[in-house]
């Protein structure tokens, strides 16, 4: 694996390469990249974050982020894409963290599809971020190779840059394992590729994620839709009620802690 060169991008020719890379990763038609050249040019010129990861001079990943509210505290990472086999996604996020800290920021947020198991593991375990909000059909319908026309429900990650768990994850690329008590209950389970909703009245709940939602969108759209609705009901409902996601267990399940009632 070649060493990566991660750096900010400003020139039009560089941004055109990012646009082409994004079209390749998302499988979108020419001109339908999730972030166009003009937007990247404007964001970069205004002092926001536009960066690329290069392996032997070849662009293999890129990320675009902009300052967010509250002013002076947060950065929102709108899009990050990376080709497999280079660990460019991790390198870009760590570079983005250092960039934000150098500007006095405390938090980076971004959205991801909570049904994609590898992304949940990356965001929660390797980076130490935590989902704090469930956003229903956040981008509307997106008919690219990744989203396949599915509703674009998203989880909003909050990456608290100086939190001890995030500092440790940045150093080791692994958050400390989350402890799951013996009385934890599975609120959403995988059975024969389909979702099965269970009890949600325990203090600690496990919310399982399907092994390959992108494959299901191609081979069984009905099952993929059932997963979207089940995750919306269970994880979305729990977060709306004030429950907290505390980790991702065994590469399969969100660990969710319900608010415990105060003693009378």
Give a three-class secondary structure readout of the chain.
CCCEEEEECCCHHHHHHHHHHHHHHHCCCCCCCCCCHHHHHHHHHCCCEEEEEEECCEEEEEEEEEEECCCCCEEEEEEEEECCCCCHHHHHHHHHHHHHHHCCCCEEEEEECCCCHHHHHHHHHHCCCEEEEEECCCCCCCCCCCCCCCCCCEEEEEEECCCHHHHHHHHHCCCCCCCCCCCCEEEEEEECCEEEECCCCCCEEEEECCCCHHHHHHHCHHHHHHHHHHHHHHHHHHHHCCCEEEEEECCCEEEEECCCCCCC
**Residue 171 included in any domain:** no
CA–CA distance from 211 to each of 48, 87, 115, 177, 252 (Å)? 35, 21, 9, 20, 8
| Sign of the four-CA dihedral 50, 51, 52, 57 | positive
**Residue 10 included in any domain:** yes
Residue 241: its pLDDT value, please? 96
Q: Which of 62, 97, 132 is the last residue of a domain?
A: 97
What is the CATH classification number for the domain harbouring 57? 3.40.630.30
Report the C-alpha gap between 176 and 170 in whole angstroms. 11
**Residue 120 included in any domain:** no
pLDDT 10s digit of each residue in the chain, 264 long? 568 999 999 999 999 999 999 999 999 888 889 999 999 999 999 999 999 999 999 999 999 999 999 999 999 999 999 999 999 999 999 999 999 999 999 999 999 999 999 999 999 999 999 999 999 999 987 665 565 567 899 999 999 999 999 999 999 877 778 889 999 999 999 999 999 999 999 999 999 999 999 999 999 999 999 999 999 999 999 999 999 999 999 999 999 999 765 454
**Residue 175 included in any domain:** no
Residue 147: its pLDDT value, please? 55
**Residue 139 included in any domain:** no
Based on the structure, what is the number of domains in the chain? 2
Report the C-alpha gap between 126 and 30 in whole angstroms. 33
Report the C-alpha gap between 3 and 134 in whole angstroms. 36
Q: Which of 97, 132, 155 is the last residue of a domain?
A: 97
Report the C-alpha gap between 19 and 125 in whole angstroms. 29
* Of 239, 196, 100, 191, the residue nearest 109 (C-alpha): 100
Report the C-alpha gap between 199 and 234 in whole angstroms. 10
**Residue 93 included in any domain:** yes
* Of 208, 206, 209, 228, the residue nearest 217 (C-alpha): 228
**Residue 226 included in any domain:** yes
Domain hosting residue 247, numbered range: 185-257
**Residue 151 included in any domain:** no
Pairing of strands 194-197, 185-191: antiparallel
CB half-sphere exposure, 81, CA atoms < 13 A: 18
Report the C-alpha gap between 199 and 213 in whole angstroms. 23
pTM (two decimals): 0.92
- Residue linked to tokens 């509210």: 69
Residue 31: its pLDDT value, please? 85
């Amino acid at each position: 694996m070649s060493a990566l060169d991660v750096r900010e991008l400003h020139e039009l020719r560089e941004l055109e390469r990012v646009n082409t890379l994004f079209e390749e990763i998302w499988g979108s038609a020419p001109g339908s990249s999730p972030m166009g050249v003009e937007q990247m040019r404007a964001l970069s010129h205004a002092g926001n974050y536009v960066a690329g990861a290069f392996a032997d001079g070849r662009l293999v990943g890129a990320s675009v982020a902009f300052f967010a509210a509250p002013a002076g505290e947060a950065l929102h990472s709108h899009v990050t894409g990376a080709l497999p086999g280079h660990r460019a996604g991790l390198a870009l996020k760590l570079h983005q963290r250092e960039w934000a800290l150098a500007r006095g920021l405390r938090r980076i947020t971004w959205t991801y599809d909570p049904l994609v198991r590898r992304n949940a593991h990356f965001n929660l375990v390797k980076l130490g971020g935590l989902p704090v909000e469930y956003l229903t059909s956040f981008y509307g319908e997106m008919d690219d190779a990744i989203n396949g026309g599915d509703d674009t429900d998203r989880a909003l990650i909050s990456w608290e840059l100086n939190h001890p768990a995030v500092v440790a994850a940045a150093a080791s690329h692994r958050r400390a394992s989350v402890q799951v008590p013996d009385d934890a209950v599975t609120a959403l389970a995988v059975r024969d590729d389909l979702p099965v909703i269970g009890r949600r009245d325990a203090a600690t709940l496990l919310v399982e994620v399907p092994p390959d939602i992108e494959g299901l969108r191609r081979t069984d759209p009905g099952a993929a839709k059932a997963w979207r609705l089940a995750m919306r009901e269970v994880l979305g409902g729990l977060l709306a009620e004030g429950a907290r996601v505390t980790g991702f267990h065994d590469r399969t399940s969100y660990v969710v802690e319900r608010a415990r009632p105060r003693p009378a």
